[in-house]
Copies of this chain bind each other. A is one copy, B any other.
Amino acid sequence: MRLTLACIAALLVCAPAKPQTLPGFAAGSVRPELDWEARFRVIPDAANLRTYDQRLSARPHHVGSPYDKDNADWIFSLFRQWGLDARIETFDVLFPTPKERVLELVEPVPFTAKLEEPVVGGDPSTEQRAEQLPTYNAYSIDGDVTAPLVYVNYGVPDDYKELDRLGISVKGAIVIARYGSSWRGTKPKVAAEHGAVGCLIYSDPREDGYFEGETFPAGPYRPKDGVQRGSVMDMPVYPGDPLTPGIGSTPGAKRLPLSQAETLTKIPVMPISYADAQPLLAALGGPIAPEGWRGALPITYRVGPGPAKVRLKLSFDWGTKTLYDVIAQIPGAQYPDEWVIRGNHHDAWVNGAEDPSSGAASVLEEARGFAALLRQGWRPKRTVLFCVWDGEEPGLLGSTEWAEQHAAELTRKAVAYINSDSNGRGYLNMGGSQSLEQLINGVAREITDPETKRTVWSRLQARLISEGADRQELRSRADLRISALGSGSDYSVFLDHLGIPSLNLGYGGEDTGGIYHSIYDDFYWYTHFSDTDFAYGRALAQTAGTAVMRLAGAELIPYDFGGLSDAVRRYLNEVEKLARDQGDAVAERNRQILDGVFAATNDPRRPKALPVVEQVPPTLDFAPLEHAAGLLQTAAERYRKAALRAAGDGSKLAEASTAQANAKLMLVERALTLDSGLPSRPWFKHQIYAPGLYTGYGVKTLPAVRESIEQKQWDEAARQIPRLAKVLESASQAIDSAAAPLK
């Protein structure tokens, strides 16, 4: 018999498909789950997302504003309308708003900063002046300072090292830093540590203005008067209400006096536009700024100090405002005390069509979808909570206060928290606990990219390959690595404080612009320049919704610890290399000092301070961590085998042993926390992930060890290594305990 090509093709098509498996699901449960997921994914509708986004962003709706409560009430009524069990939980928090804002250049030529974002013709939202918050940084202290100006680049610790080399001190000065590189609250914090008396933060056109593309309204980028508002609370110490660290800010809660609130800035700070910044920067003398410090303004960037002298006067209304968190709850049919939580905030700095409404709209559409599935007979095994938070912008207030208030219950019950914050056009960003790496990769393989019709997983893989990352691994590893989470959104309290496995999801990368936290983040901008047809809003609802369904529907909680142990191994390698590199760098610099290299290369017309010989750091003993990482890997492999065997043989997923395993599984991520927290910041309990003390948004993995090394605190590093090793050992034991009932 002669096989024609058509025959071969037919044979291939007709070959019986390999039976699909789903981690955590018994063989017989896979098909029904996939069917329900498919039914869910046809529900999200771009037209609805558009309607929600338009409604949510119709007026400015920051904490304490009338439209903030209005939105909460509307969300609540939607949930109710869809038949969900919903409630609004309120908290009272410290939230300062500006009373007075003055910025003047007093020398060498007078100039008064405008501090205002103009109306843009054709964009009606920009006209809502009466309801807009002025441009300011929340949780700056009051102050009235006049001082010489110093340009400090991004204002991160390395920039001050460079200033030292230039022989420039900011003591008694007002610094001007550009946005970028770090969490904005890092800038005044580091400035104050170096003796500055005030801090300005401006948006350089290099970052998100004309250097990147056409400015609004001709294009998506920041116009010259656009200002990035934002919180400067010291969130890497603790987020949430500054007056109630660690507890919910309910009416009766014990509050710190304002003077003891650690997370307020130490010096006054204000954000400004590049139109306001240019005359200040142009008036600076002193050394030419190092090349990497120069932005895109048509000036010679200089460092100062002076002759520019600046007056900054700020005062705030330090009143208390009420937060409205909207919560909808779908009880679990089998494990009602195992919670899968999905959230996005609803408060904005401005109209916020992108941030947060584009993400909040997806949560609403997921909730509507789940309500529809419930009517069709779907029953999640676990309880699902939809949370639409208030007060994220000022300091993750709504999520933090809620989770602190319900900490005991969450610690017992929470399986996972899935966050988003806003959404755009492009690629799926997957960040989070690596115990959910396998899960979210599986979900990403189910979602169709609106532009290419590939799966969003394969599109992301293609992008990573095209960017030249480790191609060998990208092509062969089962899952794409998910990034560890720092901070900057509502997952922080769940992951960092309570040790609840968390994910942060969103699409982006083709939606660049420069309207972040300015009045131009509105429906006009979003529908002209970002996910204009809400196709990616639909994709986000499909992605997060599928993830929630899978987590809530699996017999066995679909954690996997292979990704976790793999990540810990990598982080450990990084930290060991960091220690070695630090040692090598000190030794090399010392040698260069002794050889006279710095003196020989010092330009007498542009002299730099000569460095001094530094003690070569001790060699750290990483053996305990090496040992613990090995245990973790072994435990992860054992668990994976046990879970696979259990799922492969339906009988093994007997209810009793599964329930027992689930209860143990929830303890694994908790085992990665320590009650005493991280050095100098006890609120942060997770020992694998934390926002950097000096990066803010940026994650520091194995933070206690890594940050000690970075800060050259060698004794502290030596103390933290065995402490972290014990944490990894506990987690390994927790994994082993979870595997036991499955055997």
Contact = CB atoms under 8 A, between A and B. Distances in A.
B600 A214 contact: no
Interface in A154-204: none
A600 B463 contact: yes
A465 to B, nearest CB: 5
A462 interface: yes
A256 interface: no
Contacts of A205: 298
A525 to B, nearest CB: 15
A267 to B, nearest CB: 31
Given A288-B213, A466-B592, A471-B588, A601 B298 contact: no
A300 B210 contact: yes
A601 B462 contact: yes
A600 B219 contact: no
Nearest to A210: B300
A604 B296 CA distance: 28
A601 B466 contact: yes
Contact of A597 (B288, B465, B598): B465
Main secondary structure of the interface of A (DSSP, over half): loop
A622 B19 CA distance: 53
A452 interface: yes
How many identical subunits does the complex contain?
Answer: 2
Contacts of A210: 298-300
A600 B452 contact: yes
A300 B597 contact: no
Contacts of A471: 588
Contacts of A212: 288, 300
A605 interface: yes
Given A510-B603, A605-B510, A462 B298 contact: no
- Shortest 4 CB-CB contacts between residues of A and residues of B: A462-B600, A298-B298, A462-B597, A210-B300
A595 B213 contact: no
A596 interface: yes
A513 B541 CA distance: 56
Give the residue among A458, A459, A597 with the most B Cβ atoms within 10 A. A597
Contacts of A299: 210
A451 B602 CA distance: 9
11 contacts: A212-B288, A212-B300, A213-B288, A215-B300, A452-B600, A458-B600, A459-B600, A459-B601, A462-B596, A463-B600, A466-B598
Contacts of A652: none
A298 B294 CA distance: 13
B211 A465 contact: no
A587 to B, nearest CB: 12
A180 to B, nearest CB: 15
A731 to B, nearest CB: 37
A588 B471 CA distance: 10
Contacts of A463: 600-601
Interface string A451-467: 11010001100110110
A592 B454 CA distance: 15
A297 interface: yes
Interface residues of A, number: 42
A718 interface: no
A145 interface: no
A586 interface: no
A599 interface: yes
Interface string A589-613: 0001001111111111110000000
A671 B598 CA distance: 43
A461 to B, nearest CB: 8
Nearest to A600: B462
Contacts of A300: 210-215, 219, 221
Most buried by B among A205, A296, A454, A466: A296
Contacts of A454: 596, 600
The residue in A211, A588, A603 that gathers the most chain B C-beta atoms within 10 A of its C-beta is: A211
A177 to B, nearest CB: 20
Interface of A: 205, 210-215, 219, 221, 288, 294, 296-300, 426, 451-452, 454, 458-459, 462-463, 465-466, 471, 510, 588, 592, 595-606
B465 A294 contact: no
Given A452-B599, A465-B595, A466-B601, 5 more contacts: A212-B300, A214-B300, A462-B601, A466-B598, A471-B588
Contacts of A598: 466
A698 B294 CA distance: 28
Nearest to A463: B601
Contacts of A458: 600
Given A465-B592, A466-B597, A604 B298 contact: no
Given A462-B596, A465-B597, A466-B592, A604 B451 contact: yes
A219 B452 CA distance: 53
A527 to B, nearest CB: 14
A459 B604 CA distance: 14
Nearest to A459: B600
Contacts of A606: 510
A730 B603 CA distance: 46
Contacts of A466: 592, 597-598, 601
A205 B298 CA distance: 9
Contacts of A219: 300
A658 to B, nearest CB: 39
Nearest to A288: B213
A279 to B, nearest CB: 14
Contacts of A288: 212-214
Contact of A297 (B298, B451, B462): B298
A598 B465 CA distance: 10
B462 A211 contact: no
A217 to B, nearest CB: 14
Nearest to A224: B298
A596 to B, nearest CB: 7
Contacts of A214: 288, 300
